[in-house]
Structure 1
Amino acid sequence: MSEMPDFLPFADREEAGRMLAGRLEKLELGGAEVLGLARGGVQVARPVAERVGGRLDVLVTRKIGYPPQPELGVGAIAEGGEPVYDAGLMRKLGLEEEDLAEVAAAEREEVRRRVRAYRGDRPPPEMAGRDVVIVDDGLATGVTARAALRMARSRGPARLVLAVPVGAGDTVESMLQEADEVVVLATPVRFMAVGQWYDRFDQLSDEDVLDILGRR
C-alpha cells in the first residue's frame, strides 16, 4: 500500500473515472457491461465506459445500516440479489440477521424505487456470458460492492471485474474472493472514508444519475 500517491486527492469523480479508464484499457473490455453503483459510482463509470467501449448502465445497491447508527453499514442489498452482511461486524455488534429484517425490507423497497426511477421499462443489463465491470467511487467496508458482485456472479458473466479509484487495502484484498479481477488506483494507509480522497465529493440526486445515463 502507498502512503499518499501524487495524484491524490482526485479533483472529482469524473477525473477519477478517466484515470481508472486508463488502467482498465489494458483488459480489453470492449463491449463489456459497465455498471456504476448508484449513485456516485455512475459518475465514475461514464468515462470508463466511453474509454473502453463498454455499455454504460446503473446497478442499484443500498446499504443496510445499524439501527442506532444508520451510517454504519452492516450489510447491503443489490437489485435482484439477497442481502449480504458483514459477518465480523455483526458478531462485534451482537446482531443476528433477523434483527435487521425491518431495515432490510425498507432498503429493498428503496432499491425497487430507484430501479423504476433509473431504468423504467428497460430490462436489466444482460450479464450472462459477457464481461461485466462493476464500478464504484471507492471502497471503505466494501459491503455494497460485495452485494453487487455476488448478484452479478449469479447471472453467469464470462468475466467479472471490480474497478474503483481508491479503497482501503484490506477491503480491496477481500474483494479478490468475489471478482475475477480487481482494479484499484490507490490503497492509502490512513483510509477513513471514501470522500477524503476527493476534492469535490458532492452527493448526487436521482436526476443527476439520469443525466449521466442520458435518460432525461
Structure 2
Amino acid sequence: MFRPPFFDRRDAGQALARSLTRYAFRPDVIVLALPRGGVPVGYEVAQALRAPVDALLVRKLGVPGHEELAMGAIASGGVRVLNQPLIEQIGINNDTIEQVTAREREVLQARELTYRGNRPPPTVRDRCAILIDDGLATGATMLAAVDAVQQQHPRCVVVAAPVAPPDMHDRLANRADDVVFVMTPHDFAGVGQWYENFEPTSDQQVRELLARAAPAVGQADPKASPTRR
C-alpha cells in the first residue's frame, strides 16, 4: 500500500529545510511563502534556517476570456510584471490591462490585509529570497512570483518546494538562481498525492504563522556579508 512521503505541510517543510541548509544563518536570506499552502512549509524552513519569513502574494493577470493564459502578474509591494510579447501578439489594449490589473489588485490588497494587517510588505532588495510553495503542478504561479521578485532587485532568487514534476526544474532554472525540490517523481499526478494530510490551509492558520514569525521580519541586515559555512 502506497504511503505518501510527507505526513503534512509541516513535515514537508522540515524535509525541504534539510535540502536548504546552505542558506542557513545567512543574514541576507528571507523566506517568502506563497499563501495559503506554502506558508506552513515556509514557516518550517525559516525556523530551520534561522531566517525571517513572510507571505508573498501573487495574482496572475489572465487574458480576458482565456484566464488561464497569463499576460502578467502583480505581487506584494505594488509590483507588476507584463508579458509584452504575448500582449503584442494577441493585441491586448492598455485599457484592458488596467481593468484586469485593478480587479486583481483589489483581491490582492484584501488578502494582504487579511494576512499581514498593517505590516508593510517584506523588503527584498539586496536579499536572497527563497520562494516556497507546498508543491508545484503547472508552476504558473511560481513563475509569476519569480518574475515579480526579480523586479525588486534581490541579491538572488531561490525556488523551493517539497515536490514537483520532473520537468519543473528545467522550466525554472533559467529564471531563478537556484531550484531545490525534495522529490521530482515521474508518476506525478498532483501535489496532494504526496501528502497523507493535505487539508486546505485556512486564512486563520496563515495569520497565526505570520504573526508568530512577524518579530523576525526585516531584522536581518540584507547588506551584511553572508556567513560562510
Report TM bin, short chain.
Answer: 0.7 to 0.9
Q: Which runs of 4+ in 1 moved over 4 A?
A: 63-70, 94-98, 100-105
1:11 maps to 2:7: yes
For residues 83-141 of structure 1, give each alpha carbon's deviation from its aligned partner in whole angstroms, at most 9, with x where no partner exists.
567x99x9xxx97766x856654333211111122222212111111111111111111
Alignment check: 8 A CA contact 2:8 2:196 kept: yes
Work out which of the two has the higher radius of gyration on C-alpha atoms and give 1 or 2. Answer: 2
What residue in structure 2 maps to residue 41 of structure 1? 38
Instruction: Find the aligned partners of 1:201 and 1:95 in 2 and give their Cα distance.
Output: 38
> Aligned to 1:25, which of 3, 16, 21?
21
Alignment check: 8 A CA contact 2:130 2:157 kept: yes
For residues 176-198 of structure 1, give each alpha carbon's deviation from its aligned partner in whole angstroms, at most 9, with x where no partner exists.
11110011011111222211211
How many aligned residue pairs are there? Answer: 204
1:74 maps to 2:72: no
Other structure's SS at 2:192 match: helix
Letter in 1 for 2:114: A
Unpaired runs of 5+ residues, structure 2, are 215-229
Q: Structure 1 residues 77 and 192 mapped into 2: Cα distance closer, same or farther (>3 Å)?
A: farther
Q: Structure 1 residues 109 and 139 mapped into 2: Cα distance closer, same or farther (>3 Å)?
A: same
Instruction: Find the aligned partners of 1:112 and 1:11 in 2 and give their Cα distance.
Output: 32
What residue in structure 1 maps to residue 219 of structure 2? none
Q: Structure 1 residues 195 and 129 mapped into 2: Cα distance closer, same or farther (>3 Å)?
A: same
Letter in 1 for 2:192: G
Other structure's SS at 1:10 match: coil
What residue in structure 1 maps to residue 110 of structure 2? 113
Q: Using the TM superposition, give the Cα deviation of residue 47 of structure 1 relative to its aligned residue in structure 2, in angstroms.
A: 0.9
Q: C-alpha root-mean-square deviation of aligned residues, in Å?
A: 2.9
TM-score under structure 1 normalisation? 0.80
Give the 5 Å matches for 1:118-137.
118-137=115-134
Alignment check: 8 A CA contact 1:83 1:104 kept: no
TM-score under structure 2 normalisation? 0.76
What residue in structure 2 maps to residue 148 of structure 1? 145
- Determine what percentage of the aligned residue pairs are the same residue: 38
Unpaired runs of 5+ residues, structure 1, are 1-5
